[in-house]
Amino acid sequence: MPAASLTPPAEVEADDDFGAPGPDEDAPAAEAFDAIAPPAFAGARVDQAIARWLPEQSRARLQQWIRDGRVTVDGRTVRASHRLHGGETLHIRPGIEPAVLAAQPEAIALRIVYEDASVLVIDKPAGLVVHPGAGHAHGTLVNALLHHDPAAVALPRAGIVHRLDKDTSGLMVVARTITAHTALVRALAARQVRRVYQAIACGRLAAPTRVDAPIGRHPTQRTRMAVVPGGRPALTDVRPLGELAGAIWVECRLSTGRTHQIRVHLASIGLPLLGDPVYGPRPGRLPPALAAVGERLGRQALHAVELGFAHPDDGRPLEFRSALPEDIQAAIDALAPSASARPAPRSPAAASASPPSVGRSPRPRASTGPASGLSSVLPDTDTACDPPPRPSRH
């Protein structure tokens, strides 16, 4: 087939959920393709041009492809700094992702909430590591996905588009095609994926609040994240659901996807998550009963309860809800001042009201649902982003 001339898509800011690992980490695989550089690319570096065609890929990753000779311009290998004139034919042959290629398929049970030819929604249990890494070469979600669908080896991160920490449970969406992966990555970047969590936090929260504070690496403890000047913008809306003994049951809605965002933001306003071994309070500083519940829990009390997005193929809204797992529900029951803790009913007016902001100066709230709009209350079972222009494949 003849090469296609592509109109570059708008640039979007990537979240940490699908952020840009360096070339020594991952190098996603996809089909090779040819594309003709349009006149608008005249003067652009070849790595910048490819990044505009493939915004789901990191610049470091694309530069590695160029160094490896996987990108040619009119049949010649070039440097990343090579300038285009417009009209050249670029042949792009993505690399196989080393971390995924090295991972072996493993028969790890997955709780599949929804599945079709393009997307997979799973309910991740606590304790399951998402990506292989140091100390976790086996037993990860990637290993499970490769067993479930061997074709996932050809996708960036085996199709994973957003992360949950090892000890965070709940809903995740996984792409099953490169087109779906690209569309979901763009939807996340455009704040068109609805993600809602529930958690148990130590302390008190009388009213909904918004935490608008930048997150980056801790200045001295490099394995931790922190609210730091110059960090990446991060926005979390927090709503109390029920008072507990020495704690509060809360709902958290993400407008961004920074590493450890909910854990860092809640700790920054004096509401660290119960059981969090990194950002939570030391057990000795908690009331004995609360400390005992946290010890029994054995992980941060955080669960992804709601997920909504537009299907990458046809734009129809998909909405999912996950019940709290037994360990978090048991902790709520143990700490509830009465027989059960229940969230207060939320009126439409309350749902639309903007909570006070904590952190940086307020700004207009980013969208947390697909452009087509998602309901505030999701069903307990499964019941938006057109794919980018595609070049010719061979």
Catalytic residue numbers read: 165
Three-state DSSP class for residue 182: helix
Q: How far apart are CA 160 and CA 176, in angstroms?
A: 9
Q: What are phi and psi of 340, to 5 degrees?
A: -155, 155
Sign of CA dihedral 188, 144, 171, 23: negative
Q: How many angstroms separate the most distant Cα atoms in the chain?
A: 73
Q: What are phi and psi of 23, to 5 degrees?
A: -65, -15
Torsion angle defined by CA atoms of residues 289, 295, 296 and 298, in that order, rounded to the nearest 10 degrees: 150
DSSP 8-state secondary structure symbol assigned to residue 353: S
Angle, CA of 90, 182 and 166, to the nearest 5° = 130
Q: Is-contact 218 277, C-beta < 8 A?
A: no
196 strand-pairing partners: 253, 306
Sign of CA dihedral 108, 110, 115, 121: negative
Q: How far apart are CA 338 and CA 299, in angstroms?
A: 24
